């Protein structure tokens, strides 16, 4: 199972590294013009990596990953909802700068996280990388949540205009789902979940840095 988890982390590392490198090279080459085309150039690989990340929930459920289920579940579902439901369904949103910002934050965090995970599978704990992995996410995760919230707010006029995902049942059922209202309610869930996840990130940082210092002293 350790080899399987290593290969999984390696696949995710390669995918997110490609996206991150591609974004940087495109920005250095084309400047601000590249920002509006971010989704079209890397969207397929981004969707693939995020779909693959659903396996992490399964890893926790079957016991091969010792991470806490609820925080990881919330983080993965946040990305799935924003990427597939909000951004992928509205072409007008795909060209917004906030999509580039969101992808940059996600991939920066994931390149570091999967690098740390791969080394940890081999029993290698590099203290600066451990510190970076468990410290950088604390300020960057709230920024990513703000970017998700902004992407949802930007998408609302398009969901209202096109009626995407809104459902109105015919007679005799007098029931309808107006999807912009669902997204507005989800915004509350998103920011409430952020507080819970930040608390979990801080506790993880304390525990892992303490363990890392002990291992570093022993070596």
**What are the structure tokens assigned to 3, written together?**
């080899």
Query: What was the pLDDT predicted at 149?
Result: 96
Give 73: exposed, middle or buried? Use CB within 10 Å, 0-12, 13-18, 19+: middle
Query: What was the pLDDT predicted at 212?
Result: 57
Whole-number Å distance between alpha carbons of 24 and 5: 28
Query: What was the pLDDT predicted at 107?
Result: 96
**What are the structure tokens assigned to 161, written together?**
């205009």
- State the DSSP code for 177: E
Query: What was the pLDDT predicted at 14?
Result: 96
| Helices and strands counted in the chain (H then E) | 8, 2
Whole-number Å distance between alpha carbons of 45 and 20: 11
Whole-number Å distance between alpha carbons of 26 and 31: 7
The number of domains in the chain is 1
Long-range contacts of the stretch 118-123 (C-beta < 8 A, 24+) = 118/6, 118/9, 118/10, 118/13, 121/2, 121/5, 121/6, 121/9, 122/6
Confidence (pTM):
0.90
Whole-number Å distance between alpha carbons of 90 and 72: 26
C-alpha distances (whole Å) from 213 to each of 65, 66, 115, 172, 207 are 22, 20, 19, 66, 10
Going residue by residue through the chain, which has 219 residues, state the pLDDT in tens, using 9 for 90 and above: 889 999 999 999 999 999 999 999 998 988 888 888 889 999 999 999 999 999 999 999 999 988 899 999 999 999 999 999 999 999 999 999 999 999 999 999 999 999 999 999 998 888 889 999 999 999 999 999 999 999 999 999 999 999 889 887 776 667 788 899 999 999 999 999 999 999 999 998 988 877 655 454 444
Query: What was the pLDDT predicted at 181?
Result: 93
* Residue-level length of the chain: 219
Range of the domain at 118: 3-217
Sign of the alpha-carbon dihedral angle for 73, 213, 121, 141: positive
**What are the structure tokens assigned to 103, written together?**
């992808």
Query: What was the pLDDT predicted at 75?
Result: 94
Query: What was the pLDDT predicted at 103?
Result: 95
């Amino acid at each position: 199972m350790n080899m399987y988890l290593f290969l999984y982390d390696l696949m995710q590392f390669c995918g997110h590294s490609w996206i991150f490198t591609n974004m940087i090279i495109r920005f250095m080459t084309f400047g601000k013009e590249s920002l509006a085309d971010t989704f079209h150039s890397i969207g397929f690989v981004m969707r693939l990596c995020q779909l693959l990340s659903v396996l992490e929930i399964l890893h926790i459920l079957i016991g091969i990953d010792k991470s806490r289920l609820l925080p990881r579940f919330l983080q993965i579902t946040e990305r799935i909802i924003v990427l597939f439901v909000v951004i992928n369904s509205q072409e007008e949103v795909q060209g917004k700068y906030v999509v580039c910002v969101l992808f940059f934050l996600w991939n920066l965090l994931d390149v570091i996280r999967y690098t740390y995970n791969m080394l940890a599978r081999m029993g290698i704990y590099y203290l600066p990388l451990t510190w970076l992995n468990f410290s950088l996410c604390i300020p960057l995760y709230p920024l990513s949540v703000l970017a998700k919230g902004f992407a949802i707010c930007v998408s609302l006029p398009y969901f209202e205009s096109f009626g995407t995902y809104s459902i109105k049942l015919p007679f005799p059922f007098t029931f309808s789902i107006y999807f912009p209202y669902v997204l507005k309610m989800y915004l509350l869930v998103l920011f409430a979940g952020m507080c819970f996840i930040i608390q979990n990130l801080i506790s993880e940082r304390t525990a892992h840095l303490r363990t890392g210092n002990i291992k570093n002293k022993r070596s």
